[in-house]
Amino acid sequence: MENKEKIEELLKNAGLSVTLQRLSLVDFILKADHPTADDILTWAKKNLAKVNTATIYNTLNCLENAKIIKKLKFPHTAHFVYDHNTHDHFHFLDEESGQIIDLPKEAVNIEHSLGSQFNINKVDILLKGTLKK
């Protein structure tokens, strides 16, 4: 676990106790590419001793509430995915591979032409296509 100190700091700054299970789960999510809960559960059952489904979901909810990860729902799947990038950004879905790629907000130009009738708090964008080869 190469990011142990970084993860410990994230957990402590969020007011969470540092446990081996939390360290391991955050490390996996940091290395994974937008994993689903099923991906995380499969990994946890192979790599963590005596872990159950409820504990994993409770830990994911705890990490989400602490803003260490974000839980996202995309229209192309029935599953939630978890993102370690908690900064505002957009996503690109490669429809051939299913890979989800983070895009910085600056990479997408959105002109606001709705006038003053709306107070916009957040914009979520999923661009779909294929990666150029």
pLDDT at 72: 92
Q: For the segment 43-54, what is each residue's pLDDT rounded down to a tens digit?
A: 999 998 888 899
Phi, psi of 117 (to 5 degrees): -80, -10
Dihedral of alpha carbons 22, 63, 85, 129, sign:
positive
pLDDT at 28: 94
Positions in the chain short of pLDDT 70: 1-2, 111-116
Contact between 102 and 85 under an 8 Å Cβ cutoff? The reply is yes
pLDDT at 114: 64
pLDDT at 100: 93
Q: How many angstroms separate the CA atoms of 32 and 57, rounded?
A: 17
pLDDT at 16: 93
CA distances from 71 to 10, 29, 49, 60, 61 (A): 17, 12, 25, 9, 9
pTM of full prediction above 0.85: no
Q: How many angstroms separate the CA atoms of 129 and 116, rounded?
A: 32
Question: Please, what are the domains in the chain?
Answer: 4-70 (1.10.10.10), 87-129 (no CATH)
β-strands 80-83, 89-94: how paired?
unpaired
